[in-house]
Structure 1
Amino acid sequence: MTDPLLAVEDLRVAYPGRGFRSPDTEILHGVSLDITAGETVGLVGESGSGKTTLGRALLGLAPVTGGRILFKGEDITHADKAARRRLTRDIQVVFQDPYTSMNPNLTIEQTLTEPLRANGTSKRDALDKVATMLDAVHLPTDSLGRYPNEFSGGQRQRIAIARALTLDPSLIVCDEPVSALDLSNQRRVLDLFIEIQERTGVAYLFVSHDLAVIRHLSHRVAVLFQGDIVEWGDCDQVTARPEHPYTQRLLMAAPLPHPVKQTKHRADRQRVLAAQREAELQSGA
């Protein structure tokens, strides 16, 4: 079996308590998963489940208190600033709100060439690379002289994807990248992620609260609930025939476009919830 590109082993993240002598608050309680080259692993769960915390830990932005993060076989759990700078060539991120991650005073050209220039690329080569990236995300090259506020939300997200791709990374952490978009733009951006992956072989950790989004582009899926992975496996199995009650609730919560099917879907969800509540009451008796 091929060694994973990324391996997360028994990862724990805890934040210090806010008050004097307050205990630390542990957000992740020993999370393990792996991602192979060219694969999309979907990470799904409700708000507060720890999804974003896991993504931040991979980027060195959250306090890891236990476990390991291995990237290409190297332990990067507590990588220093110099090592993290080197890792930006291989690990990039696309955030939920691309506008807040861009400097409104910089043109798109400046935004996209900045990481290349910081890594020693000449201005001419950087412009050539940026033009290629804009074409890859289906934006015209005349976008370069414009500012972020001149683009729609979907276009800004494409620019954020182009910026993440400029250094030819092996892995992109995608933190709710379509949740702020309308449905038509969501579909376009998701299809763009798939298209880019097929062309470049980049791997994604795709974080979302929406099981339908996860199902659209993931190969494997991890379901996170209150800091623990409660279900992990092949996308078709997890999103169509889930075994854990929490995943079943997530699946039942996803709306269906057909009104009659949605009515039955809602009734089925109520039956599942009632059965689970009854089982919990009996187990606590």
Structure 2
Amino acid sequence: MTEPILDMCNVQVQYPVKGMRKQPFIALNGVSLDIRPGETVGLVGESGSGKTTLGRTVLGLAPVSGGRINYRGRDITHLSRHERRELSDEIQVVFQDPYTSLNPAMTIERILTEPLTARRMPTAEASKRVRDLLDSVGLPSNAAHRLPREFSGGQRQRIAIARSLALEPKLIVCDEPVSALDLSTQARVTDLLIEIQERTGVAYLFISHDLAVVRHLSHRVAVMYRGEIVEWGDGDTVTSDPEHPYTQRLLLSSPIADPVLQDERRERRARSVVG
């Protein structure tokens, strides 16, 4: 079996709470999961379940109070700021909101060139790389000279994806990347992510509250509830025939297009609970 590109073991994240006698807030409580090269691991749960905090720990943006995080065999749990900056070549992120994740005062070319010039890439090479990036996400080369406000939400998210690919990372943390988009645009963006993965072999940690979206592109799925992973396994199994009651409730809350099938599914789940 292929060695994981990312391996999280018993990770804990706690935040202090004001007041001398108050216990700290436990955002993550002994979380373990791994991601293999070229794999998508879906992380699903309701708001406040801890899934975004888990993504932030991978990016070094949340304080880890216990456990460890290994990336390609290296312990990255407590890296310095300089070490984290160097690691950003290999671990990137796509944020939730395409309207605020791009600098409105910068052209698309400047947005995409910024990480390249930070790595001292020659200007001519950087310009060619920008054209290639735009082409890879289905945008014309003349988009480079426009501002973010001139694009739709789906197009802005494509630009954000292009930026995350600029340094040819091995792992991208996708934090609710389609939740702010309409359904048809969601489908186009998720299909784009799958296409990029097949072409480049990049791995994704895909964070979402929507089981239907996670089912579409995840090889394995972890379900979070109150800072813990309560179900973890094959993507099709977890999102279609889950064992844990919490995952079953998530499945029931995710509507399907056929109202008759939706009613049958609810009745079947209700009978299984009673039984």
TM-score normalised by the chain length of structure 2? 0.97
Runs of 4+ that moved beyond 6 A = none
Q: Find out whether 1:214 has 2:214 as its counterpart.
A: yes
Q: Find out whether 1:16 has 2:5 as its counterpart.
A: no
Q: Distance in 2 between matches of 1:269 and 1:145?
A: 53
Classify the secondary structure of the residue corresponding to 2:174: strand
Which whole-Å deviations, capped at 9, do the CAs of 1:210-235 have from their partners, x for residues lacking one?
Answer: 00100000000111111111111111
RMSD: 1.4
Task: Work out the number of aligned pairs and report it.
Answer: 275
Structure 1 gaps, min length 5: 277-285
* Contact 1:215–1:239, Cα closer than 8 Å, also in 2: yes
- Map 1:30-45; keep pairs closer than 5 Å: 30-45=30-45
Alignment-derived partner of residue 259 in structure 1: 259
Give the Å deviation of 1:270: 4.9
Q: Distance in 1 between matches of 2:136 and 2:189?
A: 12
Q: Once structures 1 and 2 are overlaid, which stretch shifts more, 88-97 or 263-272?
A: 263-272
Q: Find out whether 1:156 has 2:152 as its counterpart.
A: no
Alignment-derived partner of residue 64 in structure 1: 64
- Map 1:121-140; keep pairs closer than 5 Å: 121-140=121-140
Q: Find out whether 1:203 has 2:219 as its counterpart.
A: no
- Map 1:33-112; keep pairs closer than 5 Å: 33-112=33-112
Q: Structure 2: which amino acid aligns with 1:61?
A: L
Q: Once structures 1 and 2 are overlaid, which stretch shifts more, 247-256 or 74-83?
A: 247-256
* Contact 1:108–1:145, Cα closer than 8 Å, also in 2: yes
TM-score normalised by the chain length of structure 1? 0.93
Alignment-derived partner of residue 224 in structure 2: 224
Q: Distance in 2 between matches of 1:216 and 1:73?
A: 29
Pair 1:147–1:18, CA change in 2 (3 A): farther
Q: Distance in 1 between matches of 2:73 and 2:182?
A: 39
Q: Distance in 2 between matches of 1:220 and 1:261?
A: 25
Classify the secondary structure of the residue corresponding to 1:64: coil
Q: Once structures 1 and 2 are overlaid, which stretch shifts more, 71-80 or 97-106?
A: 97-106
Alignment-derived partner of residue 141 in structure 2: 141
Q: Distance in 1 between matches of 2:10 and 2:274?
A: 32
Q: Distance in 2 between matches of 1:178 and 1:217?
A: 12
Classify the secondary structure of the residue corresponding to 2:33: strand
Which whole-Å deviations, capped at 9, do the CAs of 1:34-78 have from their partners, x for residues lacking one?
Answer: 001000000011111000000001101111100000001000001
Q: Structure 2: which amino acid aligns with 1:62?
A: A
Pair 1:21–1:116, CA change in 2 (3 A): farther
Q: Distance in 1 between matches of 2:232 and 2:77?
A: 22
Alignment-derived partner of residue 281 in structure 1: none
Alignment-derived partner of residue 180 in structure 1: 180
Q: Structure 1: which amino acid aligns with 2:31?
A: V
Give the Å deviation of 1:240: 1.6
Which whole-Å deviations, capped at 9, do the CAs of 1:178-224 have from their partners, x for residues lacking one?
Answer: 00100000000000000000000000000000001000000001111
- State percent identity of aligned pairs: 64
Classify the secondary structure of the residue corresponding to 2:214: helix
Give the Å deviation of 1:275: 3.5
Structure 2 gaps, min length 5: none
Classify the secondary structure of the residue corresponding to 1:47: coil
Give the Å deviation of 1:271: 4.9
